[in-house]
Amino acid sequence: MPVKPVKIEKGHLFAKKNKVSIWASKHPYAEIPDDYFEEHFSKNNTRASNIWSSHFKMRYFRPEDMETNGSQEGTISIKQAAGECSFSCSYLDALMSKAKKKDMLNITWLVLLFEYEYSAKISGVESDEYLTLLGAFNYDDDADSLYEIEE
């Protein structure tokens, strides 16, 4: 009987235009190991992976599409943290609804991955020790900014 080749799981690809996937944490930022976010690059240094992406079964992400924000000490409102990371308020109502349902209105930090529609249904992973997925939201680059842009 011939041996079937073993398929090695490399992770999922979730790239999608006009979407933003958002993860949030209540874990103190200072207690997260540095290697959790240490990026390993491939493909002309445009794609990266790290422990975080591995936990969430992502094949890779594009660092230029990522924004993070939070508080070194204590908590910050998720609305403020997200608003300071984005020039569009198009997804804010949906984000606030999900954050309220998951008791994540006040967080220590968050990760926004633009042009990315992460799916916990596909990956089977909604959270790890540090981050919880809040969802993937429609993103309109032309919508008003939550905060005025300083020139």
Question: For residue 88, what pLDDT is reported?
Answer: 84
Collapse the DSSP code of 5 into the 3-class scheme (helix H, G, I; strand E, B; otherwise coil) and give the result. coil
Question: For residue 9, what pLDDT is reported?
Answer: 55
User: How far is Cα 123 from Cα 102, in angstroms, rounded to an integer?
Assistant: 19
Domain ranges of the chain: 15-32+64-138
Are 113 and 66 in contact, with CB atoms under 8 Å apart? yes
Are 90 and 82 in contact, with CB atoms under 8 Å apart? no
DSSP state of 149: P
Q: What percent of the chain has pLDDT over 70?
A: 90
Question: For residue 129, what pLDDT is reported?
Answer: 96
69-73, 86-90, 97-101: the lowest-pLDDT one: 86-90
Question: For residue 147, what pLDDT is reported?
Answer: 66
Confidence band of 123 (pLDDT split at 50, 70, 90): very high
Question: For residue 10, what pLDDT is reported?
Answer: 78
| Average pLDDT of the segment spanning 108-128 | 96
